[in-house]
Amino acid sequence: MATLTIGIVFGCAFKLLMKAIVMPLLGADPINHAFHYLAGNRAALPGIFLMMTVGAGFGEETFFRGYLFERLGKLFGTGAGAKVLIVLLTSAVFALAHYPDQRLAGVEQAAVTGLVFGTIFAMTGRIWMVMFAHAAFDLTAVAIIYWNLETAVAHLVFK
């Protein structure tokens, strides 16, 4: 239960930090155009919930932090330098995977989240908290979009 709780709280807080501080500093549009169709779209919620929990939270973390970390660990080793390299490589691939549907802003956000989630996984060796955090991060994004709060949250700190 602690892992679940920490993951959810961290994921929600991290998304708000990204939306209100990091992405505005990077000059990102407050509106995520790839997912803006979700604004007020109750019919899309079941599918997006499944996609964000199973596909993104669990699927992406299993592949990028689980599988790739293990494979690259076999190639580069398990020392501190190797872990840094693996975090950087997996974050870059994770970021680039977000380009086709989210363009530059998606790449920037995925690069930062990849570095954070990758670092947590590299330091702890535990994937469940990162999975829960990723799902909570994405579901927080969906909630912000659904309630049409993207611009308001993006301008909380920088007007």
**Alpha carbon 76 to chain centroid, angstroms:** 25
Condensed to tens digits (0 to 9), the pLDDT of residues 37-46 reads 999 999 999 9
157 phi/psi in degrees, rounded to 5: -100, -50
Query: What's the token pair of residue 83?
Result: 């872990």
Condensed to tens digits (0 to 9), the pLDDT of residues 25-63 reads 999 999 999 999 999 999 999 999 999 999 999 999 999
Q: Please, are residues 12 and 140 in contact by the beta-carbon 8 Å criterion?
A: yes
Q: Please, are residues 98 and 109 in contact by the beta-carbon 8 Å criterion?
A: yes
pTM score over 0.75:
yes
Condensed to tens digits (0 to 9), the pLDDT of residues 93-151 reads 999 999 999 999 999 999 999 999 999 999 999 999 999 999 999 999 999 999 999 99
User: Residue 110, exposed/middle/buried by CB under 10 A (0-12, 13-18, 19+)?
Assistant: buried
Q: Please, are residues 129 and 3 in contact by the beta-carbon 8 Å criterion?
A: yes
